[in-house]
Amino acid sequence: MRTVIRLLPAFTIGVAAILAGCSVEGELTIVNDSTQEFWGKLNDQPIILDEGQSTTQTIYIGKSSGLIGPDELEVRIAGSTWTKRPFSELIAVKKDDNTVYRIIDDAGSIFFENDSHLQVNQVRVKGCSETEFGPNLIPRNSVLNPADGILVQLDPGCYDFYVNYGREELLDTVSADTDIGQVINLYWSP
């Protein structure tokens, strides 16, 4: 009987240790392989990474009790660069491992800047081989004032920009080429 009573505290402490468990963690490394600065969020926490920069975060996955416990946790990464279209993805971070997520360019961009002394009323874009221009890229009830610009993310190729400007509603068309990972500055002046 005394042996059973003496083993009871040791057994109780062992069961408590198993039930309390150990923290399970993993690491997530985010690498900005884009040609531009990355702005985004990891589980709603802001992240800004310069071109070529990386960050490593320790991710708490949960508690483990012996063999029972989580092996991974999904986290959300979202954001964009001038040459990476906006995205939102779930990534599985595994316990005792370093998961690597790479931000890679998937678009080119043309930064259209009003380099004139006139206001621009409309900017519309089409592929050079297409016949119809797309919708106005300037928000409704707005204009592009001198020295203002607008960023347009595009697939690789040649593009025509339709420009409606000035009080007389004058029209102009200019062309520019872009490729994945490139940002082309298009300084427009009639």
Q: Average pLDDT over the chain, rounded to whole?
A: 89
Final residue of a structural domain among 103, 134, 168: 103
15, pLDDT greater than 70: no
Q: Name the least confident of 23-27, 47-51, 66-70.
A: 66-70
In this structure, the answer to whether residues 98 and 114 fall within a common structural domain is no
In this prediction, residues 9-15 reach a mean pLDDT of 51
181, pLDDT greater than 90: yes
In this structure, the answer to whether residues 125 and 66 fall within a common structural domain is no
In this structure, the answer to whether residues 70 and 40 fall within a common structural domain is yes
In this structure, the answer to whether residues 49 and 115 fall within a common structural domain is no
20, pLDDT greater than 60: no
How does pLDDT run across 101-150, given as a tens digit for each residue?
Answer: 999 999 999 999 999 999 999 999 999 999 999 999 999 999 999 999 99
Final residue of a structural domain among 103, 119, 151: 103
Q: What is the domain extent for residue 114?
A: 108-188
Beta 98-103 vs 22-32: how paired, if at all?
parallel
In this structure, the answer to whether residues 96 and 133 fall within a common structural domain is no
In this structure, the answer to whether residues 21 and 50 fall within a common structural domain is yes
Final residue of a structural domain among 103, 121, 155: 103
* Rounded Cα–Cα distance for residues 74 and 90 (Å): 6
Q: CATH no. for residue 164?
A: 2.60.40
2, pLDDT greater than 80: no
Q: How many separate domains does the chain show?
A: 2
In this structure, the answer to whether residues 22 and 42 fall within a common structural domain is yes
5, pLDDT greater than 60: no
In this prediction, residues 138-163 reach a mean pLDDT of 95
In this structure, the answer to whether residues 145 and 163 fall within a common structural domain is yes
In this prediction, residues 29-51 reach a mean pLDDT of 96
What is the residue-wise DSSP string for 10-67?
HHHHHHHHHHH-EEEEEEEEEEE-SSS-EEEEETTEEEEE-TT-EEEEEEEEEEEBTT
In this structure, the answer to whether residues 99 and 12 fall within a common structural domain is yes
In this structure, the answer to whether residues 56 and 39 fall within a common structural domain is yes
In this structure, the answer to whether residues 10 and 40 fall within a common structural domain is yes
In this structure, the answer to whether residues 24 and 114 fall within a common structural domain is no
- Please report the pLDDT score of residue 108 as a whole number: 95
Measured between alpha carbons, how far is residue 189 from residues 35, 117, 118, 171 in Å?
Answer: 28, 8, 9, 12
Confirm whether pTM is higher than 0.85.
no
